[in-house]
Amino acid sequence: MFLNEHLPDDTGDLKELILTISRLGKSIKDGFLLNQGVADTQNMYGETQVEMDKWADKVLVDGLRNLPFVASLSSEERDDVIYCSKDGRYSVTFDPLDGSSLMGINLTVGTIVGIFENPDPFRPGSEMVGAMYILYGPLTTLTYTIGKGIHEFVLDKDGNYLLQHENLIVGESKIYAPGALRKEWLPFHTRFIERMEKEGYKLRFCGSFVADVHQIIHKGGVFTYPASIGKDQGKLRLLFEANPMGFIIHHAGGSISNGDMDILKIIPEKLDQRVPIYIGGKKEISIVEEEKKKEASL
């Protein structure tokens, strides 16, 4: 079954929006051979942009901004929200190319997208009506949810996305992907990781958030990019990384937390807001919240 057959017709423009993004994902994939250089500009986080970041951002903005049902676009690569159609219903937030520092060495990167039925993107992630990611690995895959399970498709040689997994559920394997510098971890986080290690969790961290979370969805376990000494909000971004992937994992039976609460309940205050992330199986997320609570009561 193809993506266009799988998406229900009664979602109105949401179906068209997701199909458009799926086609733009193919354009991004096709652009990899042409855009491998390093750009001499920086994004608002002070990171050097590789050419592909800018290319992927442009593909998405150019491909979405004139759709009559799109109210606003917010990209990790831009400093401001782009307001589009006055009559638009959907806000789209995206990280055009997550893990792009790995492009130069040919590791897996991806596009992460969140969709709100609200012209205002500063809404809690739980209000999203859809989220998806496109992973550019040995295969190009697209995983989406519109709140009814999560489903994975593979891009075939004719440019169609073919259903490969329906109703994916977070696996049972014991994997942990611990971000940030170990010497800067906070005590509760260290205790959490040590607990994982004692319980036989195996280390896997590739440096591409979207690929690491994809692995956790399929296999199980937990990805973390925690708060650390001097970085009390961690590294990853609430609107562009945490919320869409959190919404997806939530609909695969998992959860996402900042250590204290469900990230999907946070009301964003600014576009470039960062958040400490714990994302994975429900069991692992409850253990980290338990360790954090213990620390608060000491």
Candidates 209, 242, 247, 288: give the one binding ligand F6P (CB under 6 A). 209
Residue 95 within binding range of Mn ion, rule CB under 5 A: yes
Candidates 57, 98, 212, 291: give the one binding Mn ion (CB under 5 A). 98
For residues 42-101, which are near ligand F6P according to CB under 6 A?
A: 98-99, 101
Q: Are 133 and 244 in contact (CB under 8 A)?
A: yes
Distance, CA of 156 to CA of 172 (rounded, Å): 29
Query: CB-wise, 14 or 245, nearer to ligand F6P?
Result: 245
Residue 246 within binding range of ligand F6P, rule CB under 6 A: no
Query: CB-wise, 133 or 201, nearer to Mn ion?
Result: 133
Distance, CA of 260 to CA of 112 (rounded, Å): 24
Query: CB-wise, 72 or 215, nearer to ligand F6P?
Result: 215
Shortest Cβ 212–ligand F6P spacing (Å):
6
In three-state secondary structure terms, 292 is: helix
**Residue 272, Ramachandran bin (φ over 0: left; ψ between -120 and 50: alpha; else beta):** alpha
Both tokens assigned to 151: 């489903």
Q: Are 96 and 23 in contact (CB under 8 A)?
A: no
Residue 179 within binding range of ligand F6P, rule CB under 6 A: yes
Q: Are 147 and 162 in contact (CB under 8 A)?
A: no
Shortest Cβ 133–ligand F6P spacing (Å):
11
Block residue for tokens 């782009």: 82
Residue 220 within binding range of ligand F6P, rule CB under 6 A: no
Query: CB-wise, 156 or 184, nearer to ligand F6P?
Result: 184
Shortest Cβ 174–ligand F6P spacing (Å):
20
The amino acid at 96: P
Tell me the residue number closest to ligand F6P, measured at CB. 209
Distance, CA of 207 to CA of 177 (rounded, Å): 9
Block residue for tokens 């990781």: 193
Q: Which entry of Mn ion, ligand F6P, none binds 110, CB below 5 to 8 A by partner kind? A: none
Residues paired with 50 in a beta bridge: 38
Q: Which residues bind Mn ion (CB under 5 A)?
A: 95, 98
The site for ligand F6P (CB under 6 A) is made up of 98-99, 101, 179, 207-209, 225, 235
